[in-house]
Amino acid sequence: MEKKQYKTKTMVQSSAVYGLGFIGALVYFLQHASSFGDGLLGVLKALVWPAFLVYKVLEYLKM
């Protein structure tokens, strides 16, 4: 029973981090949008921001 509670707590914490990151990325991308199309692209980028982060880290590490 204890493992299930730990797994749920971890999932909630990671969801909270993703949610805060999504909101931050959304605000950032929308502030820099100069047209409706840029705003729409910003929303899509905000949804997949972890992929950008992982890509840049791997690029930095030359992997």
The long-range contacts involving 48-53, CB below 8 angstroms and separated by at least 24 positions, are 49/21, 49/22, 49/25, 50/18, 50/21
> What is residue 58's predicted lDDT score, i.e. its pLDDT?
92
> What is residue 10's predicted lDDT score, i.e. its pLDDT?
73
Given a cut of 90, whether residue 60 has pLDDT beyond it is: yes
pLDDT digits (tens, 9 = 90+) for 12-58: 777 888 888 889 999 999 999 999 999 999 999 999 988 888 899 99
> What is residue 42's predicted lDDT score, i.e. its pLDDT?
93
- Count of domains forming the chain: 1
DSSP label at residue 34: -
Domain hosting 28: range is 2-60
Does the pTM surpass 0.85? The reply is: no
> What is residue 4's predicted lDDT score, i.e. its pLDDT?
60
